[in-house]
Homo-oligomer: A and B are copies of this chain.
Amino acid sequence: MTIVRDMAEKTDHNILATRAGRKVYEAVAAEVTGAEYHDIARFIIIRRGSQEKRGCIVVLSAGTSDMPVAEEAALTAEAMGNRVERVYDVGVAGIHRLFNYRNKLLAARVLIAVAGMEGALPSVVAGLVDKPVIAVPTSVGYGASFGGLAALLAMLNSCASGVSVVNIDNGFGAGYQAALINSLGDSPV
């Protein structure tokens, strides 16, 4: 479990806790008012004041098993004041599913592509848009996936330009980075 104290100190945004079991949530909820719990992502948010939403971050996941990591990314970005669209279960083995969302992808300012196994989703996504894509390998897979290593290496070797990568299963890191990127529109160019 990672307590996201640092972020809370640096910003006025909400406070997040990732990889938190329900018991941790209950302990937090006993002391703090308004803590929310998200089961799939094992994620706690304590919202502090309302925020204007910034333009859209799209979070994609290849398979349903990648959803906990994708949700961690999505919830992190939302908690930092971003509007988030989820496009899940659009792995490259059924690429028509991804194409049904092409307009959503083109409307995004930043994209997060989450995939285990062969980790090909970020390459395909980055080929369709000209916005920054944050790739998140997951430990979904078995055998020669070696705990997410296969997906990690694939993403680092993406033949598409505009992809950068975070650690295996690091949904929080991707959401945080995407939020930093998306907030650039606020400051003068």
Contacts and interface: CB of A to CB of B under 8 A. Distances in A.
Quickly give the copy total for this chain: 8
A139 interface: yes
Contacts of A176: 161-162
Contacts of A134: 164
Contact of A157 (B7, B141, B188): B141
A28 B54 CA distance: 44
B143 A147 contact: yes
Q: How many residues of A sit at the interface, in one of the four size bands?
A: 35 or more
B153 A149 contact: yes
A40 interface: no
A92 B123 contact: yes
Given A92-B159, A92-B160, A142-B167, 7 more contacts: A55-B188, A117-B157, A117-B158, A118-B159, A120-B120, A156-B166, A165-B165
26 contacts: A7-B161, A92-B92, A92-B127, A93-B127, A95-B127, A118-B119, A118-B153, A119-B120, A124-B124, A132-B177, A143-B152, A143-B156, A143-B169, A143-B170, A150-B156, A151-B157, A153-B153, A153-B154, A156-B165, A156-B168, A161-B176, A162-B176, A162-B177, A181-B181, A185-B185, A185-B187
